[in-house]
Each structure stands twice: as structure tokens, then as C-alpha cells.
Amino acid sequence: MLLNELELRVAELAAHSTGVEAIAAALGLLPDEAARHLEAVYRKLGPPRG
């Protein structure tokens, strides 16, 4: 499943160990909104494989 543009940006920021508060500030979102988008990213990409 593909990520939308906002989810992709959230994923890019999260990949750089950026916390939800910082992601929200960078994208002009509320922290709860950023967290929901990050959850959508994890849901779409699945759990890490290791």
C-alpha cells in the first residue's frame, strides 16, 4: 500500500529519529494528528523485519 504525501513526509522525519512533537511542529500539525499519520505509516508498511 502506498503512502500519501503527508505520510511520506512523516515517515522521512521519523526515520531521522524525530519525535512526534517535532514532526508536528515541522509540518504544522497537532501532535495527535502527527501521531495518527505515523500510525498509518506503520500500518501500511507493516512491522519491522529483523
Asked if the model's pLDDT at residue 49 lies above 80, the reply is no
Reported as a single tens digit per residue, the pLDDT across 14-37 is: 999 889 999 999 999 999 999 999
Q: What is the pTM of this model?
A: 0.84
Residue 46 pLDDT level (bands cut at 50, 70, 90) = confident
Q: Which residues contact 45 (CB under 8 A, 6 or more apart)?
A: 3, 11
Higher pLDDT, 48 or 37: 37
Long-range contacts of 14-17 (CB under 8 A, 24+ apart): 14/38, 14/41
Residue 12 pLDDT level (bands cut at 50, 70, 90) = very high
Instruction: Region of 14 please: left (phi>0), alpha (psi -120 to 50) or beta.
Output: alpha
Torsion, CA 7, CA 11, CA 14, CA 20, rounded to 10: 10
